Chains A and B, each alone.
Chain A
Amino acid sequence: GAGVSQSPSNKVTEKGKDVELRCDPISGHTALYWYRQRLGQGLEFLIYFQGNSAPDKSGLPSDRFSAERTGESVSTLTIQRTQQEDSAVYLCASSSNGIGRRSLYEQYFGPGTRLTVT
């Protein structure tokens, strides 16, 4: 079946511009997570959605970052007034609250969006 998809795969933008990154989770997955992966580093948690609400936004680095989710489907991460330090790969993951212990906790990751701010 279809996995998590993200678009665009690559985005180059000028400092100060706004960008929108899109995530399409696996159909039926109620939980959705955004992570950021800087070059050569591990993933940093940004935000967690359960359905269309975000009970944990603690990882968003600044008020320039925001995210929303439509129902239990598409999510958009928006970065306003981009800075060079925002350059990273932004990864989205989804998981089910469904059947089986493993399925409850396994996060399926998309391929990421590589953002470069020049």
Chain B
Amino acid sequence: QQQVKQSPQSLIVQKGGISIINCAYENTAFDYFPWYQQFPGKGPALLIAIRPDVSEKKEGRFTISFNKSAKQFSLHIMDSQPGDSATYFCAASKGFSGGYNKLIFGAGTRLAVHP
């Protein structure tokens, strides 16, 4: 059962543009929603994370928007740069209530930012 659905599978954005990646989840018990960035040959690295008690979180050029009623969340990358070209994964867990952080990942979005 796929509990976290991510779209699009791939995304091409021009330098300076906004990249938007969307995720939807099914389990209302999830209480932690991170985004991970993965470069080829490397393990994923935490980019930004949000809890469902806030609707938006911003860190530099990266913003998570969260819609609890729709069970959706999205990553916005402002002023996208070629160095942002990577695969992005959304994830969800019951980390805050479950005592440990078993992450359920989306399928990933391959972002290419063209100069």
Q: CB of B41 within 8 A of chain A?
A: yes
- CB-CB under 8 A for A42 and B43, given A56-B100, A95-B101, A107-B101: no
Chain B window 61-104, contacts with chain A (Cβ cutoff 8 Å), 1 for yes, 0 for no: 00000000000000000000000000001010001100011111
Q: CB of A91 within 8 A of chain B?
A: yes
- A109 and B38 CA atoms in complex are apart in Å by 10
The interface residues of chain B, by DSSP majority, are classed as: mixed
B residues in contact with A31, CB < 8 Å: 100-101
Contact among B42, B43, B49 for A105, CB-based, below 8 A: B49
Specify the chain A residue showing the minimal Cβ separation from B2: A42
- A109 and B103 CA atoms in complex are apart in Å by 12
B residues in contact with A91, CB < 8 Å: 43-44
A residues with CB within 8 A of B: 4, 31, 33, 35, 40-45, 48, 50, 55-56, 91, 93, 95, 102, 105-107, 109-112
